[in-house]
């Protein structure tokens, strides 16, 4: 049984079981105490429990009156508890929460090549905003109910602790292309990295770190990249003082999604077959679309800045091109790239 039904209908099941149990106790009690037949005992139980005010089937004995009083009190209290429990679930927001989780779980079953974001604090919320602007599917794992409750209904949230194996499995870690763990504690990030690498050996793992000593540990555990937000932010601010013009120029070409991007990465696999295994000079990207090839990543993982025209684009390599918005659009159209 899925999560949503177990949360929603368990309360209804409780109500129904309670109703059957009270009816059975009342029916058997009247049959034993008053000696009535099943139909009369069942009818008396129903009119007593429902408090409709119909007359008694026959004169009750003192014991029967005491039993009837007990049945009224117990049924009233039980029904009041059941109704209150169901009402709280529906009106109090729990129904909305579990409905959203149910929809998200069903969506994740069909989702692949998505990104899992662990934690929705300052870092995680910025990661989600940038991924959204680039049209990348993602799901956020967050255990703080207050953060989730203030998000729109269509937000991709799963409520739970990212360090729990089950929540990562529910987030379809096996079909995800990347996981970004933004938890404030390095120990929690380390556990997420270890678990994610165990559940998916090929997934790209990016981890946040607060302590410099944790960087090597996170990489050893399986993280592909480790980012220290405080260190990156501090270095960026210092660079704005040391080389303000250079940093402002770099900030101006920062990738902000396809509609505003100034720099684009193109892998070998994304190139049309007639443009594969060609040199940069043969591609003639500059004359066709106006963009400039500013970087190259070889299949050995090494980067070349401003590669020469004789560099060959072969399997496993990647190009990085720079241009204005119109030029990037022309390139995307010319190479028939899948960009949103």
Whether 242 is in a domain gets the answer no
Domain count, the chain: 3
Pinpoint the alpha helices (H) of 243-308: 244-252, 280-283, 285-289
Whether 245 is in a domain gets the answer no
From 177, 210, 231, the end of a domain falls on 231
Confidence label for 2 from pLDDT (cuts 50, 70 and 90): very low
Whether 170 is in a domain gets the answer yes
pLDDT tens-digit readout, 103-127: 777 777 778 889 999 999 889 988 9
The reply to whether 109 and 227 lie within a common domain is yes
Question: Which of the pair, 86 or 259, is modelled with greater confidence?
Answer: 86
Q: Encode 72-110: b = buried (16+ Cβ within 10 Å), e = exposed.
A: eeebeebbeebeeebeebeeeeebebbebbbebbeebee
Confidence label for 222 from pLDDT (cuts 50, 70 and 90): very high
Whether 219 is in a domain gets the answer yes
The reply to whether 137 and 26 lie within a common domain is no
Whether 63 is in a domain gets the answer yes
Q: What is the pLDDT of residue 339?
A: 59
pTM of the shown model: 0.61
The strand pair at 318-322 and 292-297 is best described as antiparallel
Full residue range of the structural domain in which residue 135 is found: 104-231
* Mean of pLDDT over the chain: 81
Q: What is the pLDDT of residue 185?
A: 92
CATH number of the domain bearing residue 157: 3.40.50.720
d(CA 322, CA 292): 5
The reply to whether 86 and 124 lie within a common domain is no
Whether 244 is in a domain gets the answer no
CATH number of the domain bearing residue 289: 3.30.70.1450
The reply to whether 74 and 151 lie within a common domain is no
pLDDT tens-digit readout, 134-190: 788 899 998 887 776 666 555 678 888 999 898 898 888 999 999 999 999 999 999
At residue 123, the 3 state secondary structure works out as: helix
The reply to whether 66 and 124 lie within a common domain is no
d(CA 303, CA 265): 13
d(CA 148, CA 152): 9
| Mean pLDDT within 290-298 | 84
| Mean pLDDT within 59-70 | 87
């Amino acid at each position: 049984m899925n999560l949503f039904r177990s949360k929603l209908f368990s309360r209804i099941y409780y109500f129904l079981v309670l109703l059957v149990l009270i009816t059975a106790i009342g029916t058997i009690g009247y049959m034993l105490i008053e000696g009535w037949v099943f139909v009369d005992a069942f009818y008396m139980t129903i009119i007593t429990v429902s408090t409709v005010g119909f007359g008694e089937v026959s004169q009750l004995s003192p014991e029967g009156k005491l039993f009837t009083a007990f049945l009224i009190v117990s049924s009233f209290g039980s029904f009041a508890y059941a109704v209150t429990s169901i009402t709280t679930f529906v009106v109090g927001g729990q129904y909305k929460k579990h409905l959203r989780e149910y929809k998200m779980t069903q969506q994740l079953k069909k989702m692949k090549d998505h990104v899992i974001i662990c934690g929705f604090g300052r870092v995680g919320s910025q990661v989600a905003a940038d991924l959204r602007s680039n049209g990348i599917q993602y799901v956020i794992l967050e255990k703080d109910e207050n953060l989730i409750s203030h998000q729109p209904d269509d937000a991709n949230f799963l409520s739970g602790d990212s360090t729990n194996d089950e929540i990562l499995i529910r987030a379809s870690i096996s079909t995800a292309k990347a996981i970004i763990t933004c938890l404030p504690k390095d120990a929690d990030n380390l556990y997420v990295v270890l678990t994610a690498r165990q559940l998916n050996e090929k997934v790209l793992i990016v981890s946040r770190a607060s302590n410099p000593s944790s960087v090597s540990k996170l990489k050893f555990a399986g993280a592909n990249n480790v980012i220290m937000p405080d260190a990156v932010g501090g270095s960026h601010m210092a660079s704005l003082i040391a080389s303000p013009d250079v940093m402002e120029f770099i900030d101006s070409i920062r990738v902000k999604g396809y509609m505003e991007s100034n720099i684009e990465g193109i892998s070998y696999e994304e190139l049309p077959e007639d443009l594969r295994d060609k040199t940069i000079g043969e591609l003639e990207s500059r004359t066709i679309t106006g963009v400039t090839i500013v970087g190259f990543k070889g299949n050995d993982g090494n980067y070349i800045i401003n590669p020469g025209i004789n560099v060959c684009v072969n399997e496993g390599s990647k190009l990085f091109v720079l241009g204005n918005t119109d030029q990037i659009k022309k390139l995307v159209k010319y190479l028939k790239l899948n960009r949103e």
